[in-house]
Structure 1
Amino acid sequence: MKAIICSQWCEPEDLVLGNLPDPVAGPGEVVIAIKAAALNFFDILMVQGKYQTKPPFPFSPAAEIAGMIESVGAGVTDLKVGDRVVSSIGFNGAREKVAAPAAMTAKIPDSLDYDRAAGVILIYSTALHALEDRADPKPGETLVVLGAAGGTGLAAIEIGKLMGLRVVACASSDDKLKFCKEHGADVLFNYAKEDLKEGLKKIGGAKGIDIVFDPVGGDFTEPALRSLGWKGRLLVIGFASGPIPRIPLNLPLLKSCDIRGVFWGGFAKAFPDKSRANLERIVQWAADGKLSSHVHATFPLAKTSEAMAVLSSRKAMGKVILHP
């Protein structure tokens, strides 16, 4: 089978298209013929050797896939050959076929196309886990989303609106903010033009911001934390800007606010049944049109490095999809 191969830590442009043996389904696994694979920013870090997950060589990027089941392993009873499915596999999605854990695989309805289906898993599962399980949201509260036009930010906007929150989208250009508005954001803030700390102070008013969803990190985290009101919650999603911020701990002390970590991967391993139930909800929401699962662009497998360059340039609004 064709596959994008990473055989040593490298830059995305050094990845090669090659051949690997077809996979075989082990116990509790299914082999999926991949129709669409979604890329995420961490795929760049993974091939560079800078991510917390370091797969054995050779491996392929892309952690989430959609396709059709070709075979099933021992012990798999709820999935069968021919089922249309999505699966979260961690890596190895940039190839024609993969053996995936049945526990992390869910059926998709015929009304949901493979491209949109591939993009729902990580971003929406992360956003749902963050907002439902970690944020303790109350309808009418104000949710600030940093990096709001990216895949995870878009998911937070849409799920936040489903939960009845007032959503403030923060992004670096007017085009990105227009995109956020089209997907439900109530308030728009361009942090390339205005100071984030002062801007969020005005938006939060005397009460302050209730929840901040932060997949960006770097210089944005501290001013976002300072914008929180009494018992506000900062959700730490990731560090797309690069640097991991160091936070003065007097800030949460003075406002009795919380800094809450959100690691969906760990949650999914610790609570697989709850995680799969969340994924099934998300898939149905996407099929019903309640979630856009917006696709920014699609690329053939041979142009994986170009697809990853779109992510690294911060140009993607929504998901970047590979077509094996």
Structure 2
Amino acid sequence: MQAPFTTLSTFRDTLLKAPDADQVALAAAQDRNGQLTKPPGALGRLEDLAIWYASWRGTPRPTIDNPQVLIFAGNHGVCAQGVSAFPAEVTVQMVANFQHGGAAINQLSKAFGAKMDVYPLDLDTPTADFTEHPAMSEDECVSALQTGWNAVDPEADLLVTGEMGIGNTTAAAAVAAAVYGGDAADWAGRGTGVDDAGLQRKTDVVAKGLARHRVDDPLEALRCLGGRELAAMAGAIAAARHYRIPVLLDGFICCAAAGCLAKAADGALDHTVAGHLSAEGAHRRLLDAIGKEPLLSLGLRLGEGSGAALAIGVLKGAVACHSGMATFAEAGVSDG
């Protein structure tokens, strides 16, 4: 199904009409969990994860058979301000690496049985420098949202969205600040590894963008301060909700994109779980803002969807225990 929106306004309407979890499946999964051959709560958060997953898949005894990983790549005009330790050409080079199977996300996708695809988004045409102009026109932003939406396989049963784009931690910091408040220094981090001078330059650039684009609408923040890959991730996460596909969120950039959805429509991220806490300084602040507790904390700061892809294994383990374990009655074990 093609994306059912053609403007930011109709995208917002799509978010507001998104389906909720299946309450019948939720209750049945909770009931099943209470009968499994273990002490109550012995599997900790794995129990909550499995029940959450079952509620979105509409069955009390689900399996994860068809996870999908989508990587979106975009280039940023704000790189002209010297905000990254790497040149913009690296985006194109890394896309080729993804396509040839050489990146970390390729290995993690393969390890956890996920199908991975990469979508380069007009890499020859970077977004505008947001210190001077809106990063995207409405048409450009909507086109990226549509690309993300249309990339989601309706038959997938789990989604991870990742990104590649030199300069995109700057865009993500600006979006997060516009949507959730605070100063530029609260959100700007070292990204690809800029030095102290680079971090100050990045902070100043974010502050300049915020001063130029005083937006109080999250989708306008995405358009004016974000990037095509951020918009595409937002579109994909929204499509997953439409298809009731659970989502594992990746790091700071992914969560900045997702945070726009959360502000645009209450409960828009109910079908998502934070895969990990990244080493990008403001990620914890952003997770707190969207109300998510990460599954993993391993000091990762690569992007590419790598932390969320690693968390596929945790969610698979939770679902396998929930759906595969015997009940006390089935095992002939006394439940006390």
Q: Which has the higher helix share?
A: 2
Point out which structure has higher relative CO (alpha carbons under 8 A, 6+ apart).
2
TM-score by length of 1: 0.30
TM-score by length of 2: 0.29
